[in-house]
Amino acid sequence: MSGFQFKQFYVNHSGAAMKVGTDGILLGAWAAISPNQRVLDIGTGSGLISLMLKQREPSCALTAIEIDNLAAMQARDNVVNSPWPDIKVLEQDIQCYTSLQPFDLVVSNPPFFQRSLRGPNEARNTARHTDSLSFSGLFDAFNRLSTHDAKLALVLPAESLDQISRLSTQYGFYLSRITYVKTTLTKPAKRVLIEVSKLKQICLESELIIHQGDGYHLDYIKLCKDFYLKM
């Protein structure tokens, strides 16, 4: 597959640089997407996930929302300089956002350090803490902005799974896919990829290992090879 590939991907604006992490790469490669869907990326950051999804399904209409000014500018720069300049990047609080047409798929690599101490960098705090968008707020946005059969795809720390499961039950949603992500075979899962569905489905569970020996595990290569120049 040709397209927006990277070995190490950086975005720059006014001398700043942001290195894209593994979480975004995992979600962009893992989220289930179909042709011609309307897709909403909440908290897009550098725009990486939207660009990956657009590479996978160019027929989809992507809207990427980001509350942080610098990150939104970086996302716009990346979109304009990509093969998919039609991705819509909005600098806005998702809790105030409205759309005339509902979305079929919502994706998010949300802030998740709910109990950690805040650091001196306010932009990083906004990106990593749930002060600006709680999990409940994320579910509210998904419920309000998506179709009756929509899905929500997330990447989170493994310990967040119980909370997402409880919220799904509260909203009348269902966990439809869970992938436990391990850095190596012998280590416990540190991240989890979660798909939430508005329609009842059997939940499919799997495991993904990122590293094996001195390189990437075959499972990770299979999932992400279209987005790396070399693996």
**5 domain-assigned:** no
Q: Is residue 1 part of a domain?
A: no
**CA nearest neighbour of 109 among 173, 16, 34, 47:** 47
Contact between 194 and 167 (Cβ < 8 Å): no
Q: What is the residue-level pLDDT of the chain in tens, covering all 231 positions?
A: 444 555 434 433 344 444 568 999 999 999 999 999 999 999 999 999 999 999 999 999 999 999 999 999 999 999 999 999 999 999 999 999 999 999 999 999 987 544 333 444 444 444 443 445 799 999 999 999 999 999 999 999 999 999 999 999 999 999 999 999 999 999 999 999 999 999 999 999 999 999 998 899 999 999 999 988 776
Q: Tell me, yes or no, whether 105 lies in a domain.
A: yes
Q: Does residue 88 lie within any of the structural domains?
A: yes
Tokens for 30, please give them.
């893992």
**Sequence-separated (6 or more) residues with CB below 8 Å from residue 7:** 228, 229, 230
User: What pLDDT does 231 receive?
Assistant: 67
Number of domains comprising the chain: 1
CB neighbours of residue 174 within 10 Å: 18
- Give the burial string for 134-160 (b: 16+ CB within 10 Å, else e): ebebbbbbbeebbeeebbbbbbbeeeb
What does the CA dihedral 219, 221, 227, 231 come to, rounded to 10 degrees? Answer: 160
CATH number at residue 93: 3.40.50.150
Q: 72 with 89: CB under 8 angstroms?
A: yes
Predicted pLDDT of residue 107: 98
Q: Domain range holding 117?
A: 10-227
**Whole-angstrom Cα distance, residue 88 to residue 84?**
10
Look at residue 211 in the predicted model and tell me its pLDDT.
95
Residue 3 falls inside a structural domain: no
Backbone angles phi, psi at 147, to 5 degrees: -70, 170
Residue 4 lies in a domain: no
For residue 48, CA distances in Å to 8, 9, 165, 172 come to 12, 9, 26, 30
Asked if 171 and 196 count as a contact pair (C-beta separation under 8 A), the reply is no
For residue 107, the surrounding DSSP H or E stretch is: strand 103-108
Q: How would you class 100 by CB atoms within 10 Å of its CB: exposed for 0-12, middle for 13-18, buried for 19 or more?
A: exposed
Which tokens go with 80? 């304009």
Report CA 5 to chain centroid distance, whole Å. Answer: 17
